[in-house]
Amino acid sequence: MKATVVPINVVQLKSVCSSCSLRELCLPMGLSPKEVERLDQLIYARRKVKRGEGLYRAGDAFSAIYAVRTGFFKSNVILEDGRDQVTGFHMPGEIIGMDGIGTDHHSCNAIALEDSDVCVIPFSRLEEISNEVRGLQRQFHKVMSREIVRDQGVMMLLGSMRAEERLAAFLLNLSQRFVIRGYSPSEFHLRMTREEIGSFLGLKLETVSRLFSKFQEESLIGVQQKHIRILDTAGLKKILGQGG
C-alpha cells in the first residue's frame, strides 16, 4: 500500500503546530513570528505510515528528514549474517532520517511499530532557508546535538553496562522521554517486542525476558504483556549506581 502524503501550506502548518502538544520539541518551534513567515518557501507534507511499513530503507536516496507527529518507529540495519540489529526507537517530537545527510543515502531502515504520522521536511529547502533564518539553523543544530548525545548514551549501554543495568537504563530513558511529552513517567505501553529490545541492548531474548521477570519479582516494575508500570524509580536508579 502506498503511503498517503498530504501537502500543507505554512498557514495550515502554523495552525497545526500551535495546537500540537509537541510544539516545544519540533523543528519549526522556537522561531520568531517573522522567522516562521519566512518558512513560506519550505514545502511541508504529512505522510502516514502503517504499522510494519518502512518510512525509508537502507540505500534509499536521501531527500528529507522527518518529524514524528504520532506513532513509534524503530531504526535498524540488516547485518551480513542476516540478523536484524535495532539501532534506535523514535517517538513523537523526534526527528529521524538524519543518517542520510553525510552520504546522500540512508544507512538504515525506519520501520513503523504502529500506525504513524510524520511531517516531511525536504532537506535541500531546509538547508537553503537555514542559511537565511538563523533561528531555524540554531534549532536544527540543537536537534542534531540531541541525536549525538543519544548515540553516545547507546554506546555507553553497550560498552560498559551489565545486562540488568542496560534494561534499567532503557526503562528510565523511556520514562524521561514520555514525561517530556506530557505522558506519565511511571506507566506506559511498549511498542517494541522483547526481541527488539534485546537487539537494541545487545542482549538475548531469553535474558531480556528473565530480567523483566526479575524486576517484577523485586517490585521494581509491574508487567502486563507490553504494559509497564514503574513501581520503584529509585530502585532502578540504584541498579545504575545513581541511588542513595
Q: Which CATH architecture has domain 162-239?
A: Orthogonal Bundle (1.10)
Tell me which amino acid residue 25 is: L
Domain boundaries, the chain: 4-155, 162-239
Characterise 237 by phi-psi region: left (phi > 0), alpha (psi -120 to 50), beta (else).
alpha
Q: What is the mean pLDDT of residues 83-104?
A: 90
In this predicted structure, the answer to whether residue 127 has a pLDDT above a threshold of 90 is no
User: Where on the phi/psi map is residue 30: left (φ > 0), alpha (ψ -120 to 50), or beta?
Assistant: left
Query: Which pLDDT belongs to residue 213?
Result: 96
Selected from 3.30.450.20, 2.60.120.10, 2.60.120.380, 2.60.40.1930, the CATH number assigned to the domain covering 4-155 reads 2.60.120.10
pLDDT in tens, 232-241: 999 999 998 8
- pTM (2 d.p.): 0.83
Output Rg (C-alpha) for the chain, integer angstroms.
Answer: 19
Q: What is the pLDDT of residue 220?
A: 97
- How much is the pLDDT for 122? 87
* 3-state SS class at 240: coil
Helices (H), 101-221: 123-130, 134-160, 163-180, 194-201, 205-217
pLDDT grade, residue 132 (50/70/90)? confident
Query: Comparing 160 with 168, which gets the higher pLDDT?
Result: 168
Percentage of residues in the chain with pLDDT exceeding 90? 48
Query: Which residues, including other chains, have CB under 8 Å from residue 194's CB and lie 6 or more apart?
Result: 205, 208, 209, 212
